[in-house]
Structure 1
Amino acid sequence: MTTRSGRVIKHEPLGSPTESTRSSSTMPPPSPSPKKRKLPHDGYLGTPSMTTPSIAPTFTRSHAPSAETYQRRDDDQEPIFMEMRRRQDNIGTGRHSTPSSQNADASFVQQSFAHPTFTDIGLKQKACNDTLGDLQTLGVSHVAALPELVLVGDQSSGKSSLMSGLARVNLPRSAGVCTRCPLHIRLISSKLDRWSCTVSLQQDFDFQPFPDRKPRTSDVTRTNPFPPWTKRPHRDIKPFKTIFDPNEIEQVLRWAQIAILNHNRSFEQFVPDEGTFAKKYTLDVAARETDAQFSPNIVALEIKGPGLPDLSFYDLPGVFISPEKEEDGYVVKVVKNLTLEYIRREKAIIIWAFPMNVDSENSISLDIIRKSGAADRTIGVMTKADQLSNQNIPTWLAMFRGEKQRVGHGFFATARPPNQNLEAAALWEKLFFDREVVENTSWPIEYAEFANRCGVEVLLEYLSCELGAAFARSLPSIKDMVNTRLKQIEGELTSLPELPHNVEHEVKRSLIQFLQHMKTAMRGTEFSSNWNTLNRQFRACVFKMKPKCTVRDSDTQTIDISGADSEATTPTPRRPRPSDSTMRNVATPSRRPRQDAVTTPVKQEDATMGGMSRASSVMGAPGADLQNPFIAFFHLGRGAMDIKEIRSDIMRLKRPGMPQDLVPDEVRETLCLRAVEKWSSPLETYIKKTADLLEYTALVALEESLGGLRQRLIFRECHHHLGRFITQQVASQQGRLTEMYNTEAYQSFVMNDDVFRSCKAQEMEQLNRIRGIVRLKALTLVDWAYPTKLWEHMSEEERIKERKMLDTNLPKLPKDPYETEIEVAGYVRGYYIMAAARFVEGVAMNVNSTLLRTFRENELDTYMDNEFHIYGRADPSLYSKLMEEDENTAKRRVQLKAEKDKLVRAMHSIKELESSSTGPSVPSVTRPHVTIDSDNEMDEGVL
């Protein structure tokens, strides 16, 4: 391969003969010191195709035919060279790279890279490297890993001189430039005579300093490798300055680094000759007063000019062990972490720079490379070759031959003297490696066989070749992954629509639709059915709370009069005693009460918003399988009355001289109000469940009308105001129902005597029936095992039989000593039944005619119109504000759109490259003779 300087480069393995040598013994061995041959320079445009071998880790000449000795056929249009298949990929994986199409349609890939002529894309080196540079600048490595060159080395390793040679620009070499942040250099060959350099700041991290101290070494962890810097969701690119004079590059780079280190300030104030800070302070002062000591953000240079190589690479700060100040000890770990991050990138080609005037075993960078498993992806560059001592010649010769410090791409040597401009340094290096005496220094003759591995120009050609080939191999999978990510972003953006064209119309239309849905839902069968179920549950609960009465003639004889809504139980048969008679007509306290079969219609929600439960995104029937919310109150009627306690109250309140069977009114009043007072808890539950049902119905209507605008402010505002309206209306309704309750609990009140007497008569009949059975059992006139059932649960035959039994035996008994107390219990229970029916019906009627009416008619419309101006005119900014999103959603859309823009531009660059590779103007190029021998064997040669 011919370099731009005219030197011939031969990339050949050491240590074993080639296949051509094994097949022909007539080829003479090369001389130890081959002559340099000048070939016509036709412009090195590319690398072999994706199957072309790469360079070997060792470099002894093979006996394969060269470009001059191979006999061409008459119909050959251009030279044809021996081409060897490689066993291993020297870019680190050990296997040939293959396009990945697992995440994209096969047809998508076939439309591009499966095209037969696409394999020639490797020849278009400039186009490949230009496209790769575009992708690197755009920052799409989070989507697809990109091939990249990464220059690493210890401090004082000659990296700055090497970087200046590679960039073909006189970069500053003193402390302060690219020592405290990474540098990305992109070189673009231009047909224009004008040189230009655009400097930009690529911000991937945010600066979040500790409020009261500097970072410490202990702050540097695996999860926080660059304190106090934190990773951003996407890259932000700030254009810093474009210059057209190479002599200005040092100043601009220094100020760009200062801007990077002052992340939380406007970068514009640090632009030289323009920014306020740059005009006021000198570089030295500004460098001492930066907010951060180090930054993982990147200063990027895009250099265009005639004769430049098409190349891009990263230059990292030099790795070191001891900081200048003890307080900056954390920077040592941070720089090492940064180097690790770049080296570990699977497609990074590492350029390891180390000087020939020190022992390479002491290289910190080499240790990092080895521990990262990146040696196979590493190019060794021995700098400061002019400072090599004669006694170390065998050591460095062994490295050239791959016998020591072996790396996958072998070693190059450079010698760029400091304090010389670019042209002088390049000339000096050429004379030096040509073994001309330069300043009493000469390149030892022992290294003559590696002349094709010496000089920055030779290294540049090799880097450009390797980077282009790696990118060509990776391009199908890169395009695949970029396209897949684009589809994901587009899908997510469809769920985050932009503002509608007519914002006011959209707001009003959505709110009017909601109000209509709300009215329809309140009159619909679903709401009516659920609310009727709640009313039935409430009524059943209140009637189950009817006060129970326990009859106790003695300490052992008891009777619990439960009433018609409870089941009678039969005690375990045992031998009766005259003084022991126990009878209960309801389940014992230890027995679990029977649950009502009807369930609550109200769905519970955990989170609330504006006084209203937040509906889930998928609305379903409310709580059809939840427990009756009133079950907990069923037991409140138990133990309400006892005939012995009733007698005690009568005796306590009776005035002297009153007849024995005369009961003071206060006794009846107290027992009646005590039973009614227990309605407060069920009433509170009824109100809450009614409110829950309203909220659920409102949220269903809201989802149906504004569900598509859930991420907009209008949805949250409507949700908030709707919740507040429901809260206000429920609070007013609760006040009215509380008044109804207080009226019932204030004083017993009977207007319909006929209803009251009927209710009392029914209760007295039940009480006397059960009381009679208990007395008969106590006197052994009835078998103790006789079952006591609820009257309504008995068959007609059982009822006739029991009446006959009671009519026959009760006349035999003396007068009941608790007859008066039984009458009081019947009075209280009769009043309770009448008052309960009145109260339950009144509560339901009041809720229907007041609370529910506000939603069926126009009160909600008026309220929402006052908030949103649905039916009138308002400031247009109000409607625009209502269509705004929450901060997180808006920020997410901005991020997605920014990422989409980058990926669209990336796809455009890829498609342009693809198009140029399939066009008719693909130039013919001479492929360099390149061989690989990673396992001391060669595959069969392929012509």
Structure 2
Amino acid sequence: MPRRVIKKEQQDPSPTPTPTSAHAPASIASHTMGPPSRKRLREDAIDAQSAAVSFIRSHAPSAETCRRGHDDDQEPMFLELRARPGGGPTGSPQSSQNADTSFAHQSFAHPTFTNIGVKLRELNNTVGSLQQLGVCYVAELPELVLVGDQSAGKSSLMSGLARVDLPRSAGVGTRCPLHIRLINSSNAHWSCTVALQLDYDFEPKGKIKKSDVTATNQFPPWVKKSHRDIKIFKTIFDPSEIEEVLRWAQVAILNPKNDHELYIPGDGAIAKGGDLSEATRVAAAQFSPNIISLEIKGPELPGLSFYDLPGVFLSPDQEEDEYIVKVVRNLTRHYIQRKGAIIMWALPMNADPENSISLGIIREAKASDRTIGIMTKADKLALENEAQWLAMFREEKQSVGHGFFATSRPPDKPLETAAKWEQLFFSREVDSWPAEFEEFKDRCGVELLGEYISTQLGKAFEQSLPSIKAKVYTRLDKIRNQLADLPEIPENVEHEVKKSLYQFLGRMKTAMKDSEFSSEWSSLNNQFRDIIMKIKPTCRVKEPAAQTIDLSDADTEVSTVTPSKRPRPSDSTMRPTPGKCPRQENEMPTTPVKQESFTAGSLFRASPAIGTGLAEMHSPFAGFRNLGRLAMDIQDIRTQVRKKQRPGMPRDLVPDEVREAMCLDAVKKWQGPLETYIDKTAELLERVTNQALEESIGVLRRRLIFRECQIHLKEFIDKIVASQRGRLADMYRSETYQMYVLNEDSFSRYKAQELDQLRRARAIYRLKAVALIQWNYEIKNLADMSDDDRSREQKIFTQQLPKIGNDPYETEIEVAAFVRGYYLTAATRFVEGVTMNVNSHLFRIIGSTELDFFMDQQLGLGRAPLNVYEHLMEEDDKTASLREQLKSEIDKLSQAMTSINALECSPDGGSGSETILPASIIDLDDDMEEGF
């Protein structure tokens, strides 16, 4: 590991340099302008003393005492400070006999400056690292912010400071902020990493008006995020590529809803096939407060970082973009108001400084004392305005705390020659820089400006370092305590997850066999069977304007009206006139109704549990009870038959299509009960499986694994129920497609049974109509009648029916019996098929390994990394998110503390300690490779 060797101070007989060198470091001789104010003189003395002490502590060499070894193998440099007889270090740049090597006229990256600025570079590298880590929410960091009006020459100035050609036309600088970080790297190769620092979300809500821009909504339609997202855009190794990459990075940042990789030059689909100017024109946003960052590494670069903001302006090109004027001002104000910001105010010398919009914002924020005035475009200075700019140099007008610098980097000059040209310009060897400005020569040129701002940034950071460190440490300690208070995750988290899942899946397989579940499902099946049987179509057997006998599957309703033939007055069977007949014993005010069921041997006798009582009312199928009521009428049947008969057909010959249509109409009423049956089966299944989940891993109810299992279990149940629903729907469609009878014995038996019931009811009706049977004759269930009663009724039929002849509706009665017989045959098949299919398919899947595979897949446990198991053992989503957020913040703050501690331990750091700094910390940018 390379070490920096420090020799003790020795007496040096070299001549004492002139103490008021015009070419001294900016921290020492930055204000040698006249006439200086008393306050400025005092500040200069303090700055000089501070800088001198700082440089002595860092063992910075003079121009003559620098000893360099070979840089290629990173040999340590032996630095020596010599004490002059009068005290203080020797080796002022002015002692050099070669004017071309004068400190003020050397490149900012000249070895003399880089050696003197080792401490500054490390300070500024550290502050750049902290800025990129985004820890400014914990402690306010010193920062350089370049502001100015449009066309103020900021782009040329920025290119000079960054030592790379940046876009100078309308584009990058006008649409979003730019953060440039320069890092002196031991690597001989130049590189630049462009990244998008996303602090705001894009939430457009229609066309934006100027009134939408308020103090609380400064950058519509952008909304502040809770954290910063950093997306690497592209790393390049050729400075000539930087302009194109930056322009496409701007397009990406203005289209936040799209994947930023689409806009990467050379790789992204849009960047490959699109036109850059058109892509910029049609961008989703016209402006963004999100930042494009450039991390530039290279040999002999100063440790410097600064923000460049879009130029403020008065009016946009399009009236609809008026709001952007306010947005850009808000952005400028947002950065200027930061107490740690050192403002670099650019104002061109070919314009009137009194018209500067930026100066008004600076004064409004009371930031003038933190401002460095930078006069750009010095080569454009008009002779008649010299007095005005001289007054500003002398702090007589537009005074700012750090005074003014002048720069001149014409856009037509290549970067390689611009620095030399500027040096010659301010030395009055080219062009026409007025001699009156000679006294401010030490404040002219981008190189001297860069030296000054680097020094000021380093000093500000050094002064605030103890406070920053304390705040970062306090925040770090607080977050660690927060993390410690979160629910503990089991040590062997993978084992715990798998064990819990095994218990759950095992319990699921036994849940389907539990007696409680079997009992509930059996009850549901019985209710489904009963409702299907109950909605068997009933038949109205009355003739028009005659007595009515209404039949249902479980009862026979008999209602009477005035008979068609008036009985003799002496006939005991005569029905009295309504309202005048005396009520006889056991007589009801309306037609008597007697419950009638099937024969005792019937397979489809009404279930005692459902009947017409309380159990039936609470059945989930209660709403379907009357679906089959009066579904047929003998008169309607006759009408249908006659419509379908061909001419000349016998009246008692019924077309098959009539029978089939009526049978299919009867079974189509199953759709509602079937859907209810599926829904109730799904509810039962979901309830039982959730109970199994609770019993198996209920102790982990507060953990995400319980919630995840619950969610995915419902997904699985919904999936298999949907599949089962499709199967049963197919069964229903098969029943309603066409008539189908294979078990003809059952069909014949049911049809004969139904024909006997209908003929009996029809016979009673006909006998009452002609007063051959008492009008209040009560129809009883044959099973409930005694043998004598049945014999008596049969005797009446035998004696009386021949008297009234054949039934004119016998054919219609036979059709009704056919339909009811087919209904019972199909219903038997359907109910058994539905329930068996559910049992053999739906419940079988629950007990199979299909659920195991589904849960593994949904939980992501197939060769899952440890963090997947840790996530499942988190308390909940909010806790998991908070844990990840705290871990991320701890990582950032830990990196920040490492950078700060490394800086303090450095021989050139703030502590002045002799501790050797590890090589990995000396080049802080190497650690920041993964910081994005």
Normalising to structure 2: TM-score of the pair?
0.50
Match for 1:148 among 143, 151, 155?
143
Q: Does 1:911 align with 2:892?
A: no
Q: Does 1:251 align with 2:244?
A: yes
Structure showing the higher helix proportion among its residues: 2
> Aligned in 2, Cα 1:259/1:925: closer, same or farther, shift over 3 Å?
same
- The alpha-carbon deviation at position 312 of structure 1 amounts to 0.9
Q: Which segment drifts farther, 399-408 or 413-422?
A: 399-408
Report the Cα distance in structure 2 between the residues aligned to 1:127 and 1:20, rounded to whole angstroms.
Answer: 24
Residue aligning to 1:442 = 434
Which residue identity lines up with residue 897 of structure 1 in the other structure?
Answer: E
Which residue identity lines up with residue 189 of structure 1 in the other structure?
Answer: N
Query: Given that residues 704 and 877 in structure 2 are in contact (C-alpha distance below 8 angstroms), is that contact kept between their aligned partners in structure 1?
Result: no
Mapping of residues 522-561 of structure 1, within 5 Å: none
> Secondary structure at 1:712's aligned position in 2?
helix
- The alpha-carbon deviation at position 904 of structure 1 amounts to 0.9
Match for 1:881 among 837, 843, 858?
858
Query: Given that residues 472 and 897 in structure 2 are in contact (C-alpha distance below 8 angstroms), is that contact kept between their aligned partners in structure 1?
Result: no
Mapping of residues 403-802 of structure 1, within 5 Å: 403-434=396-427, 436-442=428-434, 444-445=436-437, 447-448=439-440, 451=443, 455-469=448-462, 472=465, 473-485=467-479, 487-488=481-482, 491=485, 500-501=494-495, 503-509=497-503, 705-707=699-701, 708-709=703-704, 712-716=707-711
Report the Cα distance in structure 2 between the residues aligned to 1:17 and 1:184, rounded to whole angstroms.
Answer: 31
- The alpha-carbon deviation at position 431 of structure 1 amounts to 3.1
CA shift digits 1:158-217 (9 cap, x unpaired): 11111112112222212223221111100001223221111122222333445xx64332
- The alpha-carbon deviation at position 413 of structure 1 amounts to 2.6
Residue aligning to 1:84 = none
Residue aligning to 1:814 = none
Query: Given that residues 144 and 481 in structure 1 are in contact (C-alpha distance below 8 angstroms), is that contact kept between their aligned partners in structure 2?
Result: no
Report the Cα distance in structure 2 between the residues aligned to 1:224 and 1:374, rounded to whole angstroms.
Answer: 23
Report the Cα distance in structure 1 between the residues aligned to 2:62 and 2:202, rounded to whole angstroms.
Answer: 54
Q: Does 1:376 align with 2:366?
A: no
With a CA cutoff of 8 Å and minimum separation of 6, indicate the structure with the bigger relative contact order.
Answer: 1
- The alpha-carbon deviation at position 911 of structure 1 amounts to 1.6
> Aligned in 2, Cα 1:21/1:277: closer, same or farther, shift over 3 Å?
closer
Report the Cα distance in structure 2 between the residues aligned to 1:126 and 1:314, rounded to whole angstroms.
Answer: 17
Residue aligning to 1:205 = 200
Report the Cα distance in structure 1 between the residues aligned to 2:25 and 2:253, rounded to whole angstroms.
Answer: 41
Query: Given that residues 342 and 348 in structure 1 are in contact (C-alpha distance below 8 angstroms), is that contact kept between their aligned partners in structure 2?
Result: yes
Which residue identity lines up with residue 294 of structure 1 in the other structure?
Answer: F
> Secondary structure at 2:29's aligned position in 1?
coil
> Secondary structure at 1:178's aligned position in 2?
helix
Which residue identity lines up with residue 881 of structure 1 in the other structure?
Answer: Q
Match for 1:15 among 38, 51, 54?
38
Match for 2:157 among 137, 157, 162?
162
CA shift digits 1:475-517 (9 cap, x unpaired): 3323432443455356558589997456443124357799999
Query: Given that residues 23 and 442 in structure 2 are in contact (C-alpha distance below 8 angstroms), is that contact kept between their aligned partners in structure 1?
Result: no
Report the Cα distance in structure 2 between the residues aligned to 1:163 and 1:403, rounded to whole angstroms.
Answer: 27
Report the Cα distance in structure 2 between the residues aligned to 1:346 and 1:130, rounded to whole angstroms.
Answer: 20
Q: Does 1:71 align with 2:86?
A: yes
Q: Does 1:386 align with 2:379?
A: yes
Which residue identity lines up with residue 301 of structure 2 in the other structure?
Answer: L
Query: Given that residues 153 and 365 in structure 1 are in contact (C-alpha distance below 8 angstroms), is that contact kept between their aligned partners in structure 2?
Result: yes
- The alpha-carbon deviation at position 719 of structure 1 amounts to 9.1
Residue aligning to 1:932 = none
Structure 1 residues not aligned, in runs of 5+: 23-37, 44-66, 81-121, 523-652, 667-676, 685-690, 724-861, 927-943
Aligned residues: 581
> Secondary structure at 2:181's aligned position in 1?
strand
Query: Given that residues 150 and 350 in structure 1 are in contact (C-alpha distance below 8 angstroms), is that contact kept between their aligned partners in structure 2?
Result: yes
Report the Cα distance in structure 2 between the residues aligned to 1:164 and 1:272, rounded to whole angstroms.
Answer: 21
Query: Given that residues 504 and 879 in structure 1 are in contact (C-alpha distance below 8 angstroms), is that contact kept between their aligned partners in structure 2?
Result: no
Query: Given that residues 131 and 910 in structure 1 are in contact (C-alpha distance below 8 angstroms), is that contact kept between their aligned partners in structure 2?
Result: no
Report the Cα distance in structure 2 between the residues aligned to 1:275 and 1:722, rounded to whole angstroms.
Answer: 43
Task: Give the percent of matched residue pairs that are identical in Structure 1 and Structure 2.
Answer: 42
Match for 2:222 among 219, 229, 237?
229
Query: Given that residues 268 and 275 in structure 1 are in contact (C-alpha distance below 8 angstroms), is that contact kept between their aligned partners in structure 2?
Result: yes
- The alpha-carbon deviation at position 336 of structure 1 amounts to 1.8
> Aligned in 2, Cα 1:146/1:391: closer, same or farther, shift over 3 Å?
same
Mapping of residues 16-165 of structure 1, within 5 Å: 40=63, 71-72=86-87, 124-165=119-160
CA shift digits 1:39-77 (9 cap, x unpaired): 52789xxxxxxxxxxxxxxxxxxxxxxx999932xxx89
Report the Cα distance in structure 2 between the residues aligned to 1:721 and 1:249, rounded to whole angstroms.
Answer: 53
> Aligned in 2, Cα 1:124/1:374: closer, same or farther, shift over 3 Å?
same
Report the Cα distance in structure 1 between the residues aligned to 2:137 and 2:129, rounded to whole angstroms.
Answer: 15
> Secondary structure at 2:38's aligned position in 1?
coil
Report the Cα distance in structure 1 between the residues aligned to 2:254 and 2:347, rounded to whole angstroms.
Answer: 28
- The alpha-carbon deviation at position 231 of structure 1 amounts to 3.1
CA shift digits 1:75-105 (9 cap, x unpaired): x89999xxxxxxxxxxxxxxxxxxxxxxxxx
Q: Does 1:900 align with 2:901?
A: no
CA shift digits 1:312-363 (9 cap, x unpaired): 1111111111111222222222222222222233332222211233232321
> Aligned in 2, Cα 1:921/1:209: closer, same or farther, shift over 3 Å?
closer
CA shift digits 1:839-895 (9 cap, x unpaired): xxxxxxxxxxxxxxxxxxxxxxx99997865x9674434145368999996598468
Normalising to structure 1: TM-score of the pair?
0.50
Report the Cα distance in structure 1 between the residues aligned to 2:282 and 2:40, rounded to whole angstroms.
Answer: 61
> Aligned in 2, Cα 1:191/1:354: closer, same or farther, shift over 3 Å?
same
> Aligned in 2, Cα 1:248/1:657: closer, same or farther, shift over 3 Å?
closer
Mapping of residues 809-888 of structure 1, within 5 Å: 874-879=851-856, 881=858
Structure 2 residues not aligned, in runs of 5+: 1-18, 46-60, 67-81, 93-116, 517-578, 590-611, 620-683, 719-839, 862-867, 914-932
Report the Cα distance in structure 2 between the residues aligned to 1:216 and 1:302, rounded to whole angstroms.
Answer: 36
Residue aligning to 2:304 = 311
- The alpha-carbon deviation at position 300 of structure 1 amounts to 1.1
Match for 1:185 among 177, 180, 185?
180
Which residue identity lines up with residue 478 of structure 1 in the other structure?
Answer: V
> Aligned in 2, Cα 1:706/1:7: closer, same or farther, shift over 3 Å?
closer
Which residue identity lines up with residue 349 of structure 1 in the other structure?
Answer: I
Query: Given that residues 129 and 467 in structure 1 are in contact (C-alpha distance below 8 angstroms), is that contact kept between their aligned partners in structure 2?
Result: no
- The alpha-carbon deviation at position 453 of structure 1 amounts to 9.2
